[in-house]
Amino acid sequence: MTFEQSLDRLDAIVGQLQRDDVPLDEALRLFEEGVGRVREAAQALTRAETQ
C-alpha cells in the first residue's frame, strides 16, 4: 500500500469511527487497523527522508 493509499484508508477509518452506530468490537478493529496504517505511513516517510 502506498503512503497516499494508507492516508486515504486512515481518513476512511476516522470517518467510520466518528459514526455513532459502529459496534464496539468493530470500532476496536478499525482503531487497531488505523494504528497499523499510521505506523506504515510513518515508516514510508522515514524511508523517503533517508533517501
Partner 1 sequence: MSGDVGASPDEAIGVGQVAQAARDVVEGAFPRLWVRGEVMGLKQYPSGHWYFTLKDAEGALSCVVWSAKAKRRTIPAAPDEGMEIAALGRLTVYPAKGQLQFSVEALEAAGEGLWRKQFEEARRRLEADCLLDPARKRSLPRVPRTVAVVTSAQGAAVRDVIAVARRRAPQVQLVVVNCLVQGDDAPASLVAALDRVARWGGADVVIVGRGGGSKDDLWAFNDEGVARAVAACPVPIISAVGHETDVSLTDLVADLRAPTPSAAAEAAVPVWTDLEADVRAHAQALRRALAQKAARARQRFAATTRQVQLAAQRVVERRRARLEAAGGRLEALSPLATLGRGYAVAQATDGTALTSAKAFRDGLDFSLVLRDGRVRATARDVIVTPATGTP
Binding of partner 1 at residue 36 (CB under 8 A)?
Answer: no
- What is the amino acid identity at position 21? D
C-alpha cell at 11: 481518513
Binding of partner 1 at residue 7 (CB under 8 A)?
Answer: yes
Binding of partner 1 at residue 2 (CB under 8 A)?
Answer: no
Tell me whether residue 37 is exposed, middle or buried, using C-beta atoms within 10 angstroms of its C-beta: 0 to 12, 13 to 18, 19 or more: buried
- 1 vs 45, beta carbon nearer partner 1: 45
User: How far apart, in Å, are the Cα atoms of 42 and each of 6, 7, 47?
Assistant: 10, 10, 9
* Residues near partner 1, by CB under 8 A: 3, 7, 10-11, 13-14, 17-18, 23-25, 27-29, 31, 34-35, 38, 41-42, 45, 48-49, 51
